[in-house]
Structure 1
Amino acid sequence: MKKVLVNISVASMFCMLAFLSHSKQLLDKVSVIVDQGVILESEIVELVDRVKANAMTNGQALPSDRALRTQAIERLILENLQSQMAERMGIQISDPQLDQTIENIAQSEGMTVPQFRQVITADGIAYESYRESIRKELIMGEVRRANVRRRVYITPQEINTLVELLNQQGDAQAEYRLGHILIGLPNNATEAEITDARERADKVLELLNNGSDFQKIAIASSSGSEALDGGDMGWMNINSMPTLFAEAVEAKPKDELIGPIRSGAGFHILKIVDTRGVEVVQIEEVNARHILIKPSIILSDTKAEQMLLEFRSQLIEGEADFADLAKEHSEDPGSALRGGELGWNDPNIYVPAFKEALAPLEKDEYSMPIRSQHGWHLIQLIDRRVDDATERRKEERAYQLIFNRKFQEETDAWMREMRDEAYIEVIDA
């Protein structure tokens, strides 16, 4: 009898394990096929739960679960497509690069990495999951830069025109924080599809004018990339936002609703969430040069650092010339041919580790080797100066403003094209 009971117990245990395994498979079933990849049900649930948690923290209203799920699937489709492209391109983020990025994030919050880790876990987020989410963001950023940058072309005439406009406006220019809702159109939309989209856009604007919550409607209805963020586009200078938007919002007051505005992507509705002026400040610029060594399978982190320490000793002893070492060894193609020289720049353009290494240096002084997400750097400060808004500076500023606008426009277009060309199948439950 005892043996029979044991056998029954063992059989029951196996049945239970089989049931649990089956339940797990049901939870993690494939919900969307995306070209060569898939999106699991658990990924959708996790993203929806995260949006709900953020909304609760910020006291933000949300649309129905069905609308949230649709938006979550769209975001995950785009992320999945970019991840597949990163794999094809061989783009990877190493653990040292990832650690450096997280350290920079922690420092920007005024914390050490252990303190930052405690805050993350206290919010109920597994630290390893957070690390991998940052890795994914970095990889997708590299994919976007690699694919979109070559689509951006800026003519000298565009720069000159904007410089003239900046001179007319003066330095105290307005910045706008915009909310954005896009009622999207497919490529080669028919007249019926255009009419239907216009009617939906008019209905959305009517709801907003009657007091409906902008963020809730954005999450429920927008086809824009910021939909799950409540349509929040963040702060933008009027010259760095899409031209279509700049013309519509200029001189408009806070809380103004604008639209629908037609573009190739569909009908846009904007809300001016807030405005602010730009402070006029003097900016210290630095001229520096560096030697960049990138660790690899062949060259370890330790060896890369030791290599730069040897270069530093040779330079201090007068046994080597910085420009010659940079031309021969630096893996930064943009500066190596110039002897490692980076030119006059605002130090804020550099990654935090590089900027912090520059800060205490005196003229002609060498840093110790420092690690950034790009690799190991040996830096020499050539000189410092206070920028007094020279023409060169204005041209650089104009270029960056135009580049930011065009990069965003081309990113949106590239992502739409990638989405349209992909094989997508949403599998019904």
Structure 2
Amino acid sequence: MVITRTSRGHHRASAGRRRVAVGSLLACLLIASAPAASQTPIQELDAIIAVVNDDVVVRSELDTEIDLILPQMQKAGTPPPPRPQLEKQVLDRLILKRLQAQRARDLGIQVEEATLNEALTNIAQRNGLSLEELQATLEAGGIRFADFREDTRSQIVTSRLQNQEVVNKIQITDQEIDRFLERESSRLIEREQVRLQHILIALPENATPAQVQAAEAKAARLVARLRGGEDFAKVAAAESDGRNALQGGDLGWFEMGAVPSLVSELAFTMAEGDISDPLSSPSGYHIIKLNEIKAATPADVVQTNARHILVRTNELVSDDDAKRRLEQLRMRIVGGEDFATLARSNSDDTGSALKGGDLGWVNPGDTVPDFEEAMNALPPNGVSEPFQSPFGWHIVQVIERRNQDKEGEFMRIKAREALQRRKAEEATEEWLRQLRDEAYVEIRLDEDAQQ
């Protein structure tokens, strides 16, 4: 049994243990009260394999998650590791998902059914299927559509949570963009994106010299095996402690400026297929493979002329109040009333309210992600439904769009996007680590295996 705990997590854990104890006692009472001659078969209780703050993860959840992951690994051509290693990897993922779900619940983050249905429809369309065909395909592959639906809901909640807690708080200054372009503009155009694979040999906090030496030696052995021709994805799935191990260590595509700091220099010099030497960081030893390279293809910059109305929340104005007020304003605008007039008298963004809510020409990356996403989804003259950003609640109208073929402006936008992604990747990793460190986590996977 593995337990991690902080003082804050201990209080939550006590509630979790009481909940488990009461559940166990109730099960015993139910069994004891059953007639001895009853022919009703006794169902095996779902084993608890982890306690996460005041919640638990049970064996059936682990099995369901593995059933979802195995087809993904098969599609990616990644052989699964032995079952015990696979269960450990998947349980670690479930614990992080549970912690994020708990945090999202505390913050009141939810996914509307309409949003979930739209996401599922988009997934089906990207695969050239209708929603009904997607369901049939999943079921034929042994995946319950209800499980896939809830997994999609969880991913949307997690994305919203990370945007709220991490991404929307990231600030990129003009000075940072200038420095970035001075250092990396020419190389950014020459090599725009790289696809990386990753293996992590993790070290515990305050690792002993013996633990460091053992991790370094293991990393060196893995590098030798990989350079000797072993499949990176297979080795990653079996040996890596990283979050992407079950995807064969695939980290996906990175803009050059968004490559994690640890390998930002190597990403410019490694050739396709190269395997790095072991790289040391506080979290352990890392092995990187540069899988693919994409050259840049500059394109026109799409600018949006938009205007908005902002309602901020405070002690007197709740989220529901702000949303309801904006819904009423939107109905008046759709009914023919002038957006600019309503913005002047109702918007809490005093800077733009004086101009009828006009934001001028907006470049990609100029606004926070929540605002940009809502704006980009609109056609010209379209008015959004109320949506929330770190500044409050908005409705936005797109007046028109234009393409700007400006190389300098294009480069600044690419630089901003790269810096945003780099900071977001590093900040999210740190945020997840803090979330785990502040939680009470008790792992009982070994006990379940012994039973």
Q: TM-score, normalised by structure 2?
A: 0.76
TM-superposed CA distance for 1:281, in Å, is: 1.9
Q: Which residue of 2 is the match for residue 181 of structure 1?
A: 199
Structure-2 change in CA distance of 1:156 and 1:34 (3 Å):
same
How far, CA to CA, are the matches of 2:426 and 2:396 in structure 1? Answer: 35
* 2:66 is the counterpart of 1:48: yes
Rounded to whole Å, the distance in 1 between the matches of 2:311 and 2:135 is: 29
Q: Please say which of residues 50-59 and 228-237 is displaced more in the overlay.
A: 50-59
- The question of whether the paired residues in 1 share the 8 Å contact of 2:303 and 2:362 is answered with yes
Q: Secondary structure at the match of 1:15?
A: coil
Q: 1:156 to 1:325 in 2, by over 3 A?
A: same
**Residue 332 (structure 1) shift:** 9.2
Which residue of 1 is the match for residue 401 of structure 2?
384
Counterpart residue number, 1:147: 165
Task: Give the structure, 1 or 2, with the largest relative contact order (CA under 8 Å, sep 6 or more).
Answer: 2
Tell me the distance in 1 between the aligned counterparts of 2:140 and 2:375.
31
Measured after TM superposition, the shift of residue 277 of structure 1 is 1.0
Q: Where does the alignment leave 5 or more consecutive residues of structure 1 unmatched?
A: 1-9
Alignment of 1:18-57 (within 5 A): 19-20=42-43, 23=44, 25=45, 28-57=46-75
Equivalent of residue 357 in structure 1, options 370, 378, 382: 378
Greater mean alpha carbon deviation, residues 105-114 or residues 242-251? 105-114
Pairing of 1:150-229 with structure 2 (within 5 A):
152=170, 154=172, 156-169=174-187, 171-229=189-247
Tell me the alpha carbon deviations over residues 157-215 of structure 1, each in whole angstroms, 9 at most, x when there is no partner. 43211122344336343321100011112222222221121111112212212222211
Task: Tell me, yes or no, if the aligned pair for 1:312 and 1:378 is still in contact at 8 Å.
Answer: no
Q: 1:298 to 1:98 in 2, by over 3 A?
A: farther
Seen in structure 2, the aligned counterparts of structure 1 residues 327 and 78 have a Cα distance that, compared at 3 Å, is farther
Correspondence 1:101 to 2:119: yes
Matches within 5 A, 1:1-400: 14-17=38-41, 19-20=42-43, 23=44, 25=45, 28-109=46-127, 112-149=130-167, 152=170, 154=172, 156-169=174-187, 171-291=189-309, 308-315=330-337, 320=338, 322-326=339-343, 339-342=356-359, 343-346=361-364, 355=376, 357-358=378-379, 361=380, 366-367=381-382, 380-389=397-406, 391-400=408-417
Shift of 1:381: 3.6
Measured at CA, do residues 356 and 12 of structure 1 come closer, stay the same or move farther in structure 2, by a change above 3 Å?
A: same
Conservation of the 8 A alpha-carbon contact between 1:100 and 1:371: no
RMSD, aligned CA:
3.7
Structure 1 position 78, deviation (Å):
0.8
Letter in 1 for 2:207: A
1:5 is matched with none
2: distance between equivalents of 1:141 and 1:331? 27
Report the identity percentage: 30
Query: Per-residue deviation at 1:51?
Result: 2.5
TM-score, normalized by length of structure 1?
0.80
User: Structure 1 residues 299, 207: closer, same or farther in 2, change over 3 A?
Assistant: same
Q: What secondary structure is seen at the aligned counterpart in 2 of 1:71?
A: helix
Q: Conserved in 2, the CA contact under 8 Å of 1:185 and 1:265?
A: yes
Distance 2:329 2:397 in 1: 16
Higher mean C-alpha deviation, range 40-49 or range 324-333: 324-333
1:419 to 436, 446, 449: 436
Cross-structure match for 1:7: none
Query: Which sections of structure 2, spanning at least 5 residues, go unmatched?
Result: 1-33, 313-317
- Provide the C-alpha distance between the structure 1 equivalents of 2:54 and 2:346, rounded to a whole number of angstroms: 40
Which deviations, in whole Å up to 9, do the C-alpha atoms of 1:17-70 show, x marking residues without a partner? 4x13xx2x1xx2111111222111111112223332333334432221111011
Q: What CA distance in whole angstroms lies between the structure 2 residues aligned with 1:390 and 1:354?
A: 24
Cα deviation per residue 1:106-142 (whole Å; 9 max; x = unaligned)?
4544555445444444444333322221221121122
Pair 243,193 (structure 1): closer, same or farther in 2 beyond 3 Å: same
* Residues 338, 143 of structure 1: alpha-carbon distance in 2 compared, 3 angstrom cutoff: farther
